[in-house]
Amino acid sequence: MDQQPTPAPNQTQTSSSGSKTGLIIAIVVIVVIVLGVGGYFGWKYLANRAAKSLENATTGSNSTATDTSKTSGTISVTPIVESLKYPGATITDQKQGEENSIYAAELSQSSSDTVATIKSYYTKLVSDKKWKITREGSSGDNNYYFTITGDEFSAEIDATKYEGYDTTDISIKISGENLKSEGI
């Protein structure tokens, strides 16, 4: 009996379906890697925004700056400092652009005026400049603190008269994401 040998399976079909399967697996692996990397950076971005929101909620600041350099801003902090100086007060300390500070500028002054007079001055200044008082409080007649906010800055001001002293200390701390310090 002459039997004819069975033909071998078509090898072109087998290798073709194998390469399609390999291609699909490669595409799936690439997609998983891209989604993983994208997800990592997406979560990192969202975590950073959440941390900033939490910081803003706890400090009362509306700053969203990511640049920690105090000299990279676009608006000089000096005119803001000048406008917040209390008339007739003696400057006891002044800083701008301190490397380890979260503030663009800090100003300490001493005045012979009462806390009530200083409060009245700054309340009028806020009204005249069309700024806003976003936080305020006091502890008796010897202390008043508040935060004022302008378009480009936030300033924490504290006026305190310590018992036994004839002067009132005024502390001003200015921050803002676009502020440029001159490094005094």
Q: Does residue 84 share a domain with residue 109?
A: yes
Give 33-86 pLDDT, tens digit per residue.
988 888 888 777 777 777 766 666 555 544 444 444 444 557 888 899 999 999
Collapse the DSSP code of 183 into the 3-class scheme (helix H, G, I; strand E, B; otherwise coil) and give the result: coil
Q: Are residues 170 and 107 in the same domain?
A: yes
The set of residues, in sequence order, having a beta carbon less than 8 Å from that of 157 and lying 6+ positions away, is 84, 122, 145, 146, 147, 148, 170, 171, 172
Tally of structural domains, the chain: 2
CA 117/CA 137 separation, integer angstroms: 15
Task: Provide the pLDDT for residue 45.
Answer: 76
Supply the pLDDT for residue 63.
Answer: 45
Whether residues 90 and 133 share a domain: the answer is: yes
Q: How high is the pLDDT of residue 58?
A: 52
Q: What is the structure's pLDDT at 59? A: 52
Q: Is the whole-model pTM more than 0.85?
A: no
Q: Are residues 157 and 85 in the same domain?
A: yes
What pLDDT is stored for residue 141 in this prediction?
A: 75
Residue 27 pLDDT: 93
Q: How far apart are CA 184 and CA 85, in angstroms?
A: 15
> In angstroms, rounded to a whole number, what is the distance separating the alpha carbons of residues 122 and 157?
9
Are 92 and 163 part of one and the same domain?
Answer: yes
Ramachandran angles phi, psi of 129, nearest 5°: -85, -5
> In sequence order, which ranges of the chain are alpha helices (DSSP H)?
11-59, 78-84, 115-129
Percent of residues in the chain assigned helix, strand, coil, to nearest 5:
40, 25, 35
Domain that holds residue 47: 10-59
88 and 145 fall within a common domain: yes
Beta bridge partners of 138: 144
Low-confidence ranges of the chain (pLDDT < 70): 1-17, 52-73, 183-184
What pLDDT, on a 0 to 100 scale, did the predictor assign at position 174?
A: 92
| Same domain? 49 vs 80 | no
Cα 90 from Cα 68, distance rounded (Å): 30
One domain for residues 171 and 82: yes
129 and 100 in a common domain: yes
Both 159 and 86 in one domain: the answer is yes
The Cα 168–Cα 45 span in angstroms is: 45
Q: C-alpha angle with apex 104: 176 to 146, nearest 5 degrees?
A: 65
- Please tell me the distance from the alpha carbon of residue 170 to that of residue 109, in angstroms, as a whole number: 5
